[in-house]
Amino acid sequence: MNLHAILAIYRFEMARTWRTVVQSIVSPVISTSLYFVVFGSAIGSRISEIDGISYGAFIVPGLVMLSLLTQSISNASFGIYFPKFTGTIYELLSAPVSYVEIVVSYVGAAASKSIILGLIILLTSSLFVPLRIEHPLWMILFLILTAVTFSLFGFIIGIWADNFEKLQVVPMLIITPLTFLGGSFYSVNMLPPFWRTVTLFNPVVYLISGFRWSFYGKADVAIGISLAVTALFLAIFLAIVAWMFKTGYRLKN
């Protein structure tokens, strides 16, 4: 394992974050705070509690997960797409760096950015509502697993995309709607039986439910199922990335 190469790419990607701190950190935090204020005020005035948890506190895990998913995908997809766009990807592919080291570098940097952002949003949310985290180790585990898993997904999108517009298609038209419909701002158990069954086909439900359980010990689905779904996503995305590098899909032409 070439640690020097991994650290070089990792540091380069992290440095880009600090150069664009307003776009990378400040903007997502402000956007999430606006979600919190609008939904917390508008809906919180009508729904005081869900499962014994104040509505404002209940939506915090969903807001963190919304930001974590979108930012993980965005950071990783742009990170690998930009070298393709400028043509420097060929220098990277011809360097004495393995595919594993390339993936670890880019995905690690994207996941690090998302985790930092998620923690900042948690601290920001604590200014609005009193938070409690019953299972802090599980919370950190879900945070890291989700960030790594969807950074891998973003890495896949970055390789697949052949223009900047495609980088935004999946996050905006698929991930964000699934997150909104996945129990970010409500409990799945509040839905009628038919729609609850339909919602359970939304994979994001399991991510949000498991993450919320780490805060309050309450979940819409069993914690074991949430972990299993997250691990399944991770395995699928790893397999796709391995296939892309093995075949040279949109990398060698």
Specify the 3-state DSSP secondary structure of 54: strand
Task: Give the residue among 44, 39, 47, 103 at the shortest CA–CA distance from 66.
Answer: 39
Full-model pTM: 0.91
Please report whether residue 31 resides in a domain: yes
Number of domains in the chain: 1
Please report whether residue 252 resides in a domain: no
Please report whether residue 167 resides in a domain: yes
Please report whether residue 42 resides in a domain: yes
For residues 13 and 18, give the distance between their C-alpha atoms in angstroms, rounded to a whole number: 9
Please report whether residue 71 resides in a domain: yes
pLDDT at 42: 67
pLDDT at 90: 84
Residue type at 231? A
For residues 162 and 84, give the distance between their C-alpha atoms in angstroms, rounded to a whole number: 9
pLDDT at 149: 95
Please report whether residue 253 resides in a domain: no
* Helices 60-86, 3-19: crossing angle, 10 deg rounding: 110
What string of pLDDT tens digits covers the 253 residues of the chain? Answer: 788 889 999 998 888 777 777 777 777 778 777 777 777 666 666 777 888 888 888 988 998 998 899 889 999 999 999 888 888 888 888 888 888 999 999 999 999 999 998 998 888 888 878 888 999 999 999 999 999 999 999 999 999 998 888 888 888 888 888 988 998 888 998 899 999 999 999 999 999 999 999 999 999 999 999 999 999 999 999 999 999 988 888 887 6
Beta bridge partners of 49: 54
Please report whether residue 48 resides in a domain: yes
Please report whether residue 182 resides in a domain: yes
Domain boundaries, position 186: 3-247
For residues 76 and 152, give the distance between their C-alpha atoms in angstroms, rounded to a whole number: 7
